[in-house]
Amino acid sequence: MKIEAFILCYLEADIIGYCVRHYASFCDRVKVIDLGSNDGSQETAKREGAEIIQDDCAGIFDDRKNQNLKNTCWHGTDADWVIVADADELIFFPHGSFSTLAAYDAQDLPIIKTHGFEMFSDAYPTTDRQIYDEVKEGAPDDQWYGKKCLFSPKRVKSISFTMGAHSVWEAFLHNGQRVTDPARFPEPPCWLLHFHHLGGLDRVARRYDENYKRQCENNHRHKFGNQQKGIIHANEKRSMILSKLRRVIP
């Protein structure tokens, strides 16, 4: 079984090493699509074993560009399964990657519906192992973070994600069938761990503000992504996370 991960990255020096290290533990290839980082993200990703694909966004965040990249970056792969995700999103198999994917193959599943978790820690991790060796708590959120970023190119011919890739608008299979978002969570389960709320409230709020400043006009016009002041949005998210916080990683 061959597995490949395609990771979008822009100014993610803090997290990209953990991301690549995780995917390298079970993927045959990890490809980081870097959108013009100048903070050491590329060097860290290479050091952890990733291949770098250059695609400069000129410092502008445009959901349409990211949507197109996720729809097409995996084209031409010969992998049995691909993961298309952001740098702070880690597909996690609580029952083991290879046995879980073999079970999905046996069920002939084209696209996997994940259980989402917003992981949380006021201290930014410092471990030189896997990030979830240190950050083990999170809040379940299947609506926004249960993304369908794991699918099988053996079955899926084309895929169209919605803005932000929170769901699948439609996909066409090699057998000619048209499918949309999967209706059921598969067994064994698959988790998507989202590591955004790390390092304290001020750090998270600052990142929200930085992302807001570089959003393109189209994003602002259509209200793609967060449009609030960083501290307001960070506080709202923090309250939601703390209300549902629980141990996720044993």
d(CA 58, CA 204): 23
Domain range for 105 is: 3-247
Q: pLDDT digits over 139-190, tens only?
A: 999 999 999 999 999 999 999 999 999 999 999 999 999 999 999 999 999 9
Give me the mean pLDDT over the 87-95 stretch: 98
Domains contained in the chain, number: 1
**What's the pLDDT score for residue 223?**
81
Domain of 122: which CATH number?
3.90.550
Q: Does residue 219 have a pLDDT over 90?
A: no
Cα-to-chain-centroid distance, residue 29: 16
Is the full-model pTM beyond 0.85? yes
Calculate what percentage of the chain has a pLDDT beyond 70. 100
* Predicted confidence band of residue 234 (pLDDT cuts 50, 70, 90): very high
